[in-house]
Amino acid sequence: MIDANKYAIKCFQDEAKAILDMIPNLTDDFSKAVDLIYNCKGRFVITGVGKSGHIGAKIAATLASTGTPTFFVNPLDAYHGDLGVFTPDDVVMAISYSGQTDELLRFIPLLLDRNIPIIGVSGNPNSLLAQYSVCHLNVYVDREADALNLAPTSSTTATLAMGDALACALEKVRHFKAADFAQFHPGGSLGRRLLSRVKDFMVSTNLPIVHPDQKISDTIIEISKTKQGIAVALDNNKIAGVVTDGDVRRAMYDKQDRFFDLTVKEIMSTNPKTISENAKLSLAGEMMREYNIHSLIVVDDNFRFVGVIDSFSCL
């Protein structure tokens, strides 16, 4: 029988060393990152691809449960409509151990164009990600814990520890107490999601409404009305479809010559996901996770369009 315990002990030791070795690499950029997140007037968004994405999602969950509203966005989704959720008031933390991940780097300029500050997390302070960032958190490790020095082990542990350090620091800055923590767990936000209805949190005024025969140029204005990044096409007060800012960008790319002659019905999705205004808020969150979308069309008992609910409202 193989003595597997010795391999476990070696892994623990290597990963513990990787975390402790980050201490000398800690700079004033960590304090700058905490200040940026604490003073963020919009949303704090974490992004990353692959293993970094999984770690980012966990960090987002930790921050959200300790008083910092945070959510995770896969940069690949941003190319298909999710970019509309970002505003200049947001702050983004981008994670890539190499700092050179192509999918992430192609997403960064889209954020910079909106003047969104970026906190970079990588093991390479000279990487392109570090150069794009207003502050950089160094999670460099000497080697991975696996025998081949290939699988993300020590590096992902170090990144996770950096996320925990941010959460701990922000707890102190916010004077976060045990009573506050309870509000984000059963009886608090969880209870709110289980008991509250969609109609209590949906956007129901200044709704982005277009007609299927309306020109794309007018549609762009309607989409810009709200932070949801969508417009609902109504025909005789019935939902005919939905257009996202991703649909508009794809149409602009695919049909450049006749883009401004296009109508809503030529690019809209005709089977948008809807939810009843009387449905529980928890169901809205489950549906958005299941379909990997960030907004739902809200309807009344007669299936009339009455509002929009987004994933931020379900946190």
pLDDT tens for 279-315 read: 988 888 889 888 888 889 999 999 999 999 988 777 6
5-183: which CATH topology? Rossmann fold (3.40.50)
Helix (H, G, I), strand (E, B) or coil at 244: strand
Of 247, 245, 233, whose CA–CA distance to 297 is shortest?
Answer: 233
With a cut of 80, say whether residue 152 has pLDDT above it. Answer: yes
Angle between the N-to-C axes of helices 154-173 and 51-65, in degrees from 0 to 180, rounded to the nearest 10: 20
Q: Domain extents for the chain?
A: 5-183, 196-314
Q: Which tens digit of pLDDT belongs to each residue from 14-69?
A: 999 999 999 999 999 999 999 999 999 988 999 999 999 999 999 999 998 787 88
The Cα angle at residue 248 between residues 242 and 250, in degrees rounded to 5: 115
The pTM score is 0.58
Architecture of domain 196-314 in CATH? Roll (3.10)
Are 91 and 36 in contact by the 8 Å Cβ rule? The answer is yes
Q: What is the 3-state secondary structure (H, E, C) of 180-192?
A: HHHHCCCCCHHHH
- Residues paired with 231 in a beta bridge: 243
Q: Is the pLDDT confidence value at 186 over 50? A: no
Question: Considering just the CA atoms, what is the radius of gyration of the chain in Å?
Answer: 22
Per-residue confidence (pLDDT) for residue 81, from 0 to 100: 54
